[in-house]
Amino acid sequence: MQEYWELYMKNLEGKPASVQFNAGISMEIEELGYTYPTIAFVKAKLKDPKENGLLSEQEEPEILFMEDKLEASMIKFRIGKYVGRVISDGYVTFLYYVQYTYNWPDFIEFALNEHTTYDITNGHQEDGEWNYYKKLLYPSPREWQIIQNHKVCDNLKEQGDNLHLERLIEHKVYYENEEKKEALVKALEAKEFRIKEEIVNEDGVKGLHFYRIDKAFYHDVDEMTLELIDLAESHNAQYDGWETSAMKM
């Protein structure tokens, strides 16, 4: 099982949620479903959450210690894999897929013996299709885009970029239907994007390379790319990301 973790924010039942999950296992779900068919959870009520229900800096060390102790217990009893964590509405929930549950009580006792001051619940149920991973932890295409946006912004910032400066930002979109290309071009031009060239990817799918002058700051890019995802989808096309050069003025 590959270890590749991502952290992002989402809306969960109308409230902000911080989600951390192992993205590296997403290509192995079919195989893992046979070996680890049961979803299990440990849910702790936060003692001092922020006003928005998320984890405070003061309490973070204790929750991270709890997370580490749970992981050590999971390894000790060899019953499953840690796949993600959700923090929302004043609670933190640790999620696991387990092979068997006969020693689940032993796992819980060992993992939580140093956290008796927390209000904690736990349990497990069958989930051979890994629906909790797919529907709760795994990001939607829009959430994935925000994750990628912030990685690019972080990279630019590390280069000394002033993200608030306007600059040329280039984008790509690939379309399925040649007949809708003209409508797609007009829709982009109506948003003041300029077409740079027509392109073809490695699979022979045709697309458009286009650009506009915009800011590369986090929320500006998020708003722009989510708008482009919606525009692309309305024309049976798929948005394929953006790039720009660092500006250090």
> For 122-162, what is each residue's pLDDT tens digit?
999 999 999 999 999 999 999 999 999 999 999 999 999 99
Band of residue 248 on the pLDDT scale cut at 50, 70, 90:
confident
pLDDT tens digits, one per residue of 166-219: 999 999 999 988 888 999 999 999 999 999 999 999 999 999 999 999 999 999
pLDDT at residue 2 greater than cutoff 90: no
For the chain, what percent of residues have pLDDT higher than 90?
A: 90
Q: Which domains occur in the chain, in start order?
A: 5-137 (3.30.70), 141-243 (3.30.70.970)
Answer positive or negative: Cα dihedral of 51, 55, 60, 63. Answer: positive
Answer positive or negative: Cα dihedral of 77, 80, 82, 85. Answer: negative
Q: Are 241 and 173 in contact (CB under 8 A)?
A: no
